[in-house]
Amino acid sequence: MKYCRSQLTEMLRCLREAVEIESPSGSKANIDRMAAFFSTEFRRHKGSVEVLPHPSAGAAVCAEFWGGIGGQKPVLLLGHHDTVWDLGTIRTMPFRVRNGRAYGPGVLDMKSGLVCGLWAIRALQALGVEPRSPVHFFLNPDEEVSSVAFRDTIEAEAKRARAVLVLEPAAAGGALKTERKGVGEFQITVHGRSAHTGTNPDAGVNAVSELARQILRIEKLARPGRGLTLNVGVIHGGTRSNVIPERASATVDVRVSRRGDGELVERKVRSLEPIHPGARLEIRGGVNRPAMERAQAANLFRQARELGRQLGIKLNEASTGGGSDGNFTAALGIPTLDGLGAVGEGAHARHEHILIRQLPRRVALLAALVATI
Ligand SMILES: [Zn+2]
């Protein structure tokens, strides 16, 4: 802890640089710069680094530390270096420190998490502590847009690992995340038939009204009592009031607490039938991130809580409706603990910030976990 406290200025310097290199998911050049920035930091601290380029998403980074330790499966530190903030946000939302908080685009979600990971490794090196197993550190370039580009690589890394520590921000009060809901999205398009509402109303098939009736069916699939919720967030349809609309579409967000419910809701949505015999339904999408169930986190959380106690940090656990790459690794049955990054508020919001005094404590906790599990 003493070492971690002594490093705070350095950590903030690194965090500032990382935030000021903006890295929105879609901006390949900037994501590549961000990947290069962390690769350099990893190499500087004895990491053997592989940069994995991608034609559209930007590069991922895979680093290995203490690779010489034989016989043990590695611990995987998992993070992402993309953010939800567009290029240029830094001009209206600059990195700044005020009242013990550091603000800026992506500062909490999750550049500070990457800084925590880096300093956990640096702390162990500085103190001459060799962990039980090698440490792999994977940076995903497109987590904020559903982790399409490197999902297979993440899953392959996870399968090799003994445990996955996800550096997403902590839940409120610094709690670690032991459960995450599964996340899905469906696009439902209704194809009807257009017609003149005055001269030929019977010839039309109203796609808007068909969609409205389908939405009521879809909403009935929700089981909020057990964490299955649906939100029809976007609808489009129709052109003019005097035209029977031939097309309408809806986008539906789905959250599930249980993996089985993800499969159930997929099956039910896909098997929707048109109510009007002249309408046709086109259904796309599905559950993208399976639920991260507590079973995969329980042991790791117990260890983290005990290590926290020794460090004077009281740790709670939390479940969240948001997904992360931890959903993928937990679904493979690999022990996964999430929320090990910084403590703060406002991820994806303009007041996004971290609590600076918590940073050394999180690094110490992470270092202790990495060294002992
Ligand atoms: Zn994140």
95 CA from centroid of ligand 1 (Å): 18
Distance, CA 131 to ligand 1 centroid (Å)? Answer: 26
- C-alpha 45 – ligand 1 centre gap (Å): 24
**For residue 370, what are the CA distances in angstroms to 117, 119, 121, 132?**
10, 12, 8, 8
Give the angle 174-179-183 at the CA atoms, nearest 5°. Answer: 115
Q: What's the 108 CA to ligand 1 centre distance in angstroms?
A: 8
The residue type found at 250 is A
Cα 161 from Cα 154, distance rounded (Å): 11
Residues 6+ apart with CB under 8 A from 149: 54, 56, 57, 60, 141, 142
Distance, CA 152 to ligand 1 centroid (Å)? 18
Q: With bands split at pLDDT 50, 70 and 90, how would you rate the model's confidence at 1?
A: confident
Ligand 1 centre and the CA of 81: distance in Å?
9
Cα 248 to its chain centre, rounded Å, is 30
pLDDT, tens digit, for every residue of 91-101? Answer: 999 999 999 99
Cα-to-centroid distance, 303 and ligand 1 (Å): 23
Q: If you measure from the C-alpha of residue 168 to the centroid of ligand 1, how many angstroms do you get, rounded to a whole number?
A: 5
Instruction: Indicate the Cα dihedral angle 156, 298, 293, 151, nearest 10°.
Output: -20
Ligand 1 centroid vs 196 CA: distance in angstroms?
49
This prediction has a pTM of: 0.91
Closest CA to 366 of 120, 6, 127: 120
CA-CA distance, 215 to 104, in Å (whole number)? 39
Tell me if 60 sits within 8 A of 141, measured CB to CB: yes
Residue 351 alpha carbon to ligand 1 centre in Å? 16
Regarding beta strands 280-289 and 182-191, do their DSSP bridges make them parallel or antiparallel, or are they unpaired? antiparallel
For 28-78, write each residue's pLDDT tens digit: 999 999 999 999 999 999 999 999 999 999 999 999 999 988 778 999 999
C-alpha to C-alpha distance for 143 and 151, rounded to whole angstroms: 9
Tell me the CA–centroid distance for residue 160 and ligand 1, in Å: 23
**What is the distance in A from the centroid of ligand 1 to the CA of 38?**
17
Cα of 237 from ligand 1 centre, angstroms: 33
Both tokens of residue 311? 């460090």
- In single-letter form, the type of residue at position 88 comes to G
Q: What is the pLDDT of residue 2?
A: 87
Q: Are the C-beta atoms of 211 and 237 separated by less than 8 Å?
A: yes
Q: Which of 363, 349, 360 is nearest to 109 (CA)?
A: 349
pLDDT digits (tens, 9 = 90+) for 353-363: 999 999 999 99
d(CA 110, ligand 1 centre) in Å: 5
Structure confidence by residue, pLDDT tens digits, 117-170: 999 999 999 999 999 999 999 999 999 998 999 999 999 999 999 999 999 999
Q: Calculate how far, in angstroms, residue 143's C-alpha sits from the geometric centre of ligand 1.
A: 7
Task: Reduce the DSSP state of residue 370 to 3 states and report it.
Answer: helix
Tell me how far the alpha carbon of residue 327 lies from the centroid of ligand 1, in angstroms. Answer: 12
Cα–Cα distance, 168 to 77 (Å, whole number): 10
**Separation of 269 CA from ligand 1 center, angstroms?**
28
Whole-angstrom Cα distance, residue 309 to residue 253?
39
Distance CA 305, CA 206 (A): 58
Amino acid making up residue 214: Q
How far, in Å, is the centroid of ligand 1 from the Cα of 93?
A: 18
Enter the tokens of residue 157.
């890394």
C-beta of residue 288 within 8 angstroms of C-beta of residue 256: no
